Amino acid sequence: MDHIWKKKDLLSLYDLNADEITEILDTAEEFKKVNQRNVKKVPALRGKTIVNFFVEPSTRTILSFELAEKRLSADTINISASTSSLKKGETLLDTVRNIEAMQVDLVVIRHSAPGAADFLAKNLNVGVINAGDGAHSHPTQGLLDIFTMREKKGSIKGLNVSIIGDILHGRVARSNIWGLLKLGANVTICGPRTLVPREFEQIGVRVCDKIQDALEGADVVNMLRIQQERQEGGFFPSTAEYSKYFALNKRTIKYLSPDALIMHPGPINRGVELDSEIADGPQSVILEQVTNGLAVRMGVLYLITGFLNNEKK
Ligand code: CP
């Protein structure tokens, strides 16, 4: 079967067109069926070696990639910054060149520096998948969010999606915005002015200052984490002040339709951007996002290795 996907890397949803995004979502739908079977393993990536190189912490993404690789029968190796020679002063490129010299097929990289995955992709022959680079991009998170919206709501076109929280430092926000706009959604962003760049208006995103305005009429609300590790600039007076104006809780949920989905990429700061009773309530699809992430990553790995196989012929 001839695929639309013709890329050795997945770096950002900004780089993809609607057909490429849709092919990933459709492929993931098939892998979701595999994950629901009694035997959840297929031989699609047998003989392939994938290195998961996580220089920044992760729970969901690293486990999801590793499990996706295993379900596709690939051989996988995980390395972290603390156990690699980055600790001895080796450059990122030298480290990954050495990994490449061992004839691996794909590197999945998470790094705190925006552009780290792009840099490696330009300088390596192996495929590179961006598992989150600083505040820039987290394409598989964007894809799993969009997959969940499409599965629950039927279509992305015309869907009203509000993204609330730290947009400035939000690689999940950027990935959602790029992907959703390409598929025809109406996107609203909301949060303190210091964390919501007005420039997004220029690409067709609605910006609002009040959570009530972002919640009313939304089909989906994606609550983002306040990234304490990226808040050195004092972007808001205190966490309590942030929660008072921008949390989804018992007081603010009354503005949201009972049919609207509540999403969060995790990890949740419970009681800060999202109260526990909402995170665990009937409108929340947060754990379904995690389930879907596995299928989406299987889809991405399958399409990229398929392209690399054809290139070698
Ligand atoms: N959503 C997400 O990227 O979570 P982790 O940081 O745990 O991978």
Q: Residue ranges of the domains in the chain?
A: 13-137+291-312, 139-289
Highest mean pLDDT, choosing among 121-125, 137-141, 240-244 = 137-141
Confidence of residue 2 (pLDDT cuts 50, 70, 90): confident
CA of residue 58 to ligand 1 center, whole Å: 5
Q: Is 243 in the pocket of ligand 1 (CB under 6 A)?
A: no
Atom from ligand 1 closest to the CA of residue 131: 3
Ligand 1 centroid – CA 266 distance (Å): 6
Q: Model pTM?
A: 0.95
Confidence of residue 84 (pLDDT cuts 50, 70, 90): confident
Q: How far is the CA of 162 from the centre of ligand 1 (A)?
A: 20
**Residue 233 pLDDT greater than 80, yes or no:** no
> Is the Cβ atom of 217 under 6 angstroms away from ligand 1?
no
Handedness of CA 66, 67, 72, 75 (dihedral sign): positive
Q: Does residue 303 sit in helix, strand or coil?
A: helix
Does residue 59's CB lie within 6 angstroms of at least one atom of ligand 1?
yes
The average confidence (pLDDT) of the chain is: 94
pLDDT tens per residue, range 203-230:
999 999 999 999 999 999 999 988 665 5
Ramachandran angles phi, psi of 218, nearest 5°: -80, 140
**How would residue 144 be classed by pLDDT, with cut points 50, 70 and 90?**
very high
With 90 as the cut, is the pLDDT of residue 252 above it?
yes
pLDDT tens digit sequence for 156-204: 999 999 999 999 989 999 999 999 999 999 999 999 999 999 999 999 9
Q: If you average pLDDT over residues 253-261, what whole number do you get?
A: 98
% the chain with pLDDT above 70? 97
**Residue with more model confidence, 96 or 129:** 129
Using the atom order of ligand 1, give the atom closest to the CA of residue 132: 3
Q: Using a pLDDT cut of 90, give the percent of the chain over it.
A: 87
Question: In angstroms, what is the span from residue 103 Cα to ligand 1's centroid?
Answer: 28
- 112 close to ligand 1 (CB < 6 Angstrom): no
Judged against a pLDDT cut of 90, whether residue 88 lies above it is answered with no
pLDDT at 63: 97
Of residues 12 and 229, the one with the higher pLDDT is 12
Ligand 1: atom nearest CA of 56 is: 6
CATH of domain 13-137+291-312: 3.40.50.1370
pLDDT of 72 higher than 90: yes
Instruction: Answer whether 155 contacts ligand 1 (Cβ < 6 A).
Output: no
Q: Is 139 in the pocket of ligand 1 (CB under 6 A)?
A: no
C-alpha–C-alpha distance, residues 197 and 308, integer Å? 38
Q: Which of 141, 144, 175, 224 to mutate to test the pocket of ligand 1 (most atoms within 8 A of CB)?
A: 141
- With residues binned 3-state (H G I as helix, E B as strand, rest as coil), the percentages for the chain, rounded to 5, are 45, 15, 40
Q: Which CATH number fits domain 139-289: 3.40.50.1370, 3.40.50.11540, 2.40.30.10, 3.10.20.30?
A: 3.40.50.1370
pLDDT tens sequence across 265-285: 999 999 999 999 999 999 999
Determine whether the shortest distance from the Cβ of 310 to ligand 1 is under 6 A: no
- pLDDT bin (cut points 50, 70, 90) of residue 43 is very high
Look at residue 240 in the predicted model and tell me its pLDDT. 86
Cα-to-centroid distance, 61 and ligand 1 (Å): 5
Kindly indicate the confidence band of residue 234, based on its pLDDT and cuts at 50, 70 and 90.
low
HSE-CB at 273 with a 13 A cutoff on CA atoms is 24
Ligand 1 pocket, residue 140 CB under 6 Å: no
Q: What is the DSSP string of 44-63?
A: TTTT-EEEEEESS--SHHHH
Supply the residue whose CA is at minimum distance from atom 4 of ligand 1: 60
Sheet with 127-133, strands from edge to edge, namely: 75-80, 49-54, 106-111, 127-133
Q: What is the pLDDT of residue 228?
A: 65
